[in-house]
A and B are shown apart, each in its own frame.
Chain A
């Protein structure tokens, strides 16, 4: 995958005053955050805090109600949604969103839909199959027949096939058995170690903060706390509210 593992290279993504509204109800109330190149940032918070809405607004699955999103120094909140993948932004949506009646190989090919460099695509397919050997074994199977964990692997693999610079992960652990969650997060750490910039939304705050370098805590549409991930893990308020202690 692309990226070079150099941390602290400056921000890849800056969101300022980002707002998302459904009808009259504000789900995200003008939040400001950034993701530096090569780092993994966790966005944690309770159900309904606005985490998923934030990610969807970044990937333009919904239109932000206000604020700005700058990516590589450029304003992107006005780009048509299907252009974002060309800019290097890939979202693994909540609930996986695999194409159930496409085969695994076809799902992965869809991930590379924005690309035309055949050799590069073949190389990345090999890489994805290396991360998830199970997908290679079931290449010809329809994605709808996979287990939830395998579908999550496929969704992550599919996102990687676009060779993104910024990977947005929405609740990758949702609904999975603990052993599968471990596997998925192992891969996320591997991909991060290869230099990928990751913005991770998770309800499992402990897992997210153990994976990320920095974290933001969201509460009813706003960011209430931000710090190094390790500091958040030891913050009494976070421990009480999100780590069940």
Chain B
């Protein structure tokens, strides 16, 4: 019983991170049908930029929480510029190419970004400095920390902000219209290029915040960390129904829970043959099962276009 509740807490925290990253995949896919496989690397760069900024500021005597705020802001700005440039340099020239070309380019960009990060930050694991004091709480026999609480709260705030942007602003309305019918949105005066750039910029900003969350949670970062995180978040987006905002959020949290519960019980279930380090199996089993049995995802809709 204790482990159940404990794993649910862990799953929610991990799931909030997946949800934030999954939104980046889903926004771009919803508007231009591209799976931006370099998005995981954008998150990684966000983490590493934040480490550099926070370390520098803390060394010069700034309180960690304030340095953390600057770290998030700096990471977000760098990632927004990076997301914008990715689209501009790598994907826009391929707008009218066959679907496979931008996909392969995305994988290529992911390798480029990994190598770039390796050149800037090196091959070694880097320590993410603590941003807030880590206090341990206990509730119903399960333990959780102030860092975990902060991650869930920041994720909830960021995602609420995104929903406000998408459903309550002119830009958001233009984004939704473009996702549904780009040619007609163009007739209304919507500049599709600007909308596509916005999707990359907003998704990258969320990715940067997620990157700082990952860094504070695991306390380490590395130039290859974006790969697995990106794949998991992509799985979450597919699980929820790629292109669907609510789906990405729900898919992220659900995937976090599946992984945490899977990792918590796999030992018992296999008589100790598999340990919790096999937790990655669950994410990819989910991906395969969803693609086999419900490729449109949990929230995937058959569009209601009536003649």
Contacts and interface: CB of A to CB of B under 8 A. Distances in A.
Given A61-B183, A85-B187, A111-B188, A99 B176 contact: yes
B181 interface: yes
Contact of B176 (A85, A102, A113): A102
Contact of B305 (A61, A83, A144): A144
B304 A144 contact: yes
Contact of A102 (B173, B305, B306): B173
Contacts of B145: none
Nearest to A83: B189
A108 to B, nearest CB: 11
B58 interface: no
A65 interface: no
Contacts of A99: 176-177, 180-181, 184-185
Given A109-B173, A113-B174, A142 B304 contact: yes
B129 to A, nearest CB: 44
B190 interface: yes
A102 B176 CA distance: 8
A135 B10 CA distance: 48
Interface stretch (A12-20, A146-154, A229-237): A146-154
Contact of B180 (A101, A145, A175): A101
A158 B188 CA distance: 9
B170 interface: yes
* Band of interface residues on B: 20 to 34
Interface string B272-307: 000000000000000000000000000000011111
A110 B174 contact: yes
A148 B183 CA distance: 20
Contacts of B246: none
A162 B188 contact: yes
Contacts, number: 81
A160 to B, nearest CB: 12
Interface string B52-68: 00000000000000000
A128 interface: no
A96 B183 CA distance: 12
Interface in A104-140: 106, 109-111, 113-114
Interface residues of A, number: 34
B122 interface: no
A27 B305 CA distance: 28
Contacts of A83: 189
B184 A147 contact: no
Contact of B191 (A82, A90, A109, A148): A82
Given A142-B304, A151-B306, A114 B173 contact: no
A82 B192 contact: yes
Interface in B155-208: 170, 173-174, 176-177, 180-181, 183-192
A34 B232 CA distance: 58
B247 to A, nearest CB: 13
Contacts of B304: 100-101, 142, 144-145
A199 B45 CA distance: 53
Given A99-B181, A102-B177, A93 B306 contact: no
B190 A82 contact: yes
14 contacts: A61-B186, A81-B186, A81-B187, A82-B189, A84-B187, A85-B189, A101-B303, A106-B173, A110-B173, A114-B188, A144-B304, A144-B306, A146-B306, A162-B189
Given A59-B187, A101-B304, 15 more contacts: A81-B187, A85-B188, A101-B176, A102-B173, A102-B180, A110-B173, A110-B188, A113-B170, A113-B174, A113-B189, A114-B188, A142-B304, A144-B304, A145-B306, A162-B189
Interface of A: 59, 61, 80-86, 90-91, 93, 95, 97, 99-102, 106, 109-111, 113-114, 142, 144-148, 151, 158, 162, 175
Q: Which 7 A-B pairs have the closest CB atoms?
A: A114-B189, A144-B304, A97-B184, A85-B189, A113-B188, A99-B180, A82-B191
